[in-house]
């Protein structure tokens, strides 16, 4: 099937090349005939400013207007030159002097340029055809290989999945190792610089009053704890006895001497004044 399509495409390409060669031959013959016809001398219209109207009337009679007269010297439509020629395209194409030329006029591009364009297109078409056939042949070979060895796709997919997994594991291990190394280096650097710098700064910043208050608080807490422990260990009966047996010291008098404790006087109970002599 591929060979038949290739032969058909090449045959069409040969026919196109033959048509191009025939077209080129006809254009060459047409160009040679046009050149021979152009070699024939053409009549010129001689005029000046005094007989300008006569020249215009003569030109109009042969199918020209005054605007179609081009000067030979200045190559423009000045209208005042002594020698003028008609333009290549007349106003009336059916006039006798130019009826024959209007048949051979070609409004398209030059024949050689058109031929080059056609040849370029044919070359590009041939290259496209060859590329298409080559790609089709490769696709058919791949399809035939897959049909014969279908397990190769599965094996290839499994190998690719295994490779992807291996790459993922390697990447993960590398990331974990990098993070561990960075963390360890950071901790070591902090322990060597930050901590050593922070401790002296804290000690220097703490005021002496704060240190004294802390020491006093610790001492008072220790003393109070000892006293409470001693109170708990003393029996309640001994405490009660000591409290009851202790005499109450009287208040001092005006002189400053304490007043002796008076023994019970029978006169007090009899209603007599205890200050009277007995």
Region 137-156: mean pLDDT is: 65
Residue 276 binned pLDDT confidence (cut-offs 50, 70, 90): low
Q: What angle do CA 83, 87, 90 make, to 5 degrees?
A: 130
Contact 44, 58 (CB under 8 A): no
Residue 27 clears pLDDT 60, i.e. is over it: yes
| Mean of the per-residue pLDDT values of the chain | 65
Region 227-251: mean pLDDT is: 61
pLDDT of 66 = 45
List Cβ neighbours of 198 (8 Å cut-off, separation of 6 or more).
Answer: none
pLDDT of 220 = 87
Which of 57-61, 66-70, 133-137 holds the top average pLDDT? 133-137
Q: How far apart are CA 43 and CA 45, in angstroms?
A: 7
Q: What is the pLDDT of residues 175-218, one digit of tens each?
A: 888 888 888 888 887 777 776 777 777 767 666 667 778 888 88
How many residues in the chain?
Answer: 278
pTM for this prediction: 0.19
Q: What is the pLDDT of residues 112-134, one digit of tens each?
A: 666 677 677 777 777 777 788 88
- % the chain with pLDDT above 70: 43
């Amino acid at each position: 099937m591929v060979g038949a399509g290739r032969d058909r495409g090449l045959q069409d390409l040969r026919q196109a090349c033959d048509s191009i060669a025939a077209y080129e031959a006809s254009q060459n013959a047409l160009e040679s005939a046009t050149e021979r016809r152009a070699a024939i001398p053409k009549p010129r219209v001689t005029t000046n400013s005094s007989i300008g109207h006569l020249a215009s009337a003569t030109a109009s009679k042969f199918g020209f207007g005054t605007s179609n007269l081009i000067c030979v010297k200045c190559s423009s439509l000045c209208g005042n030159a002594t020698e003028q020629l008609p333009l290549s395209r007349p106003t009336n194409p059916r006039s006798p002097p130019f009826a024959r030329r209007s048949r051979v006029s070609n409004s398209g591009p030059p024949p050689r340029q058109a031929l080059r364009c056609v040849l370029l297109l044919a070359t590009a078409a041939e290259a496209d055809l060859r590329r298409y056939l080559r790609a089709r042949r490769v696709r058919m070979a791949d399809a035939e290989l897959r049909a014969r060895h279908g397990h190769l796709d599965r094996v290839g997919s499994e190998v690719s999945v295994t490779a992807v997994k291996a790459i993922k594991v390697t990447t993960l291990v590398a990331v974990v190792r990098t993070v561990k190394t960075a963390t360890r280096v950071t901790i070591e650097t902090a322990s060597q610089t930050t901590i050593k710098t922070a401790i002296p700064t804290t000690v220097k910043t703490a005021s002496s009053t704060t240190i004294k208050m802390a020491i006093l608080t610790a001492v008072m807490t220790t003393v109070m704890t000892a006293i409470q422990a001693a109170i708990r260990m003393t029996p309640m009966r001994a405490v009660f006895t000591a409290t009851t047996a202790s005499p109450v010291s009287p208040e001092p008098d005006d002189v400053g001497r304490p007043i002796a404790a008076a023994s019970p006087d029978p006169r007090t109970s009899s209603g007599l004044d205890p200050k009277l002599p007995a």
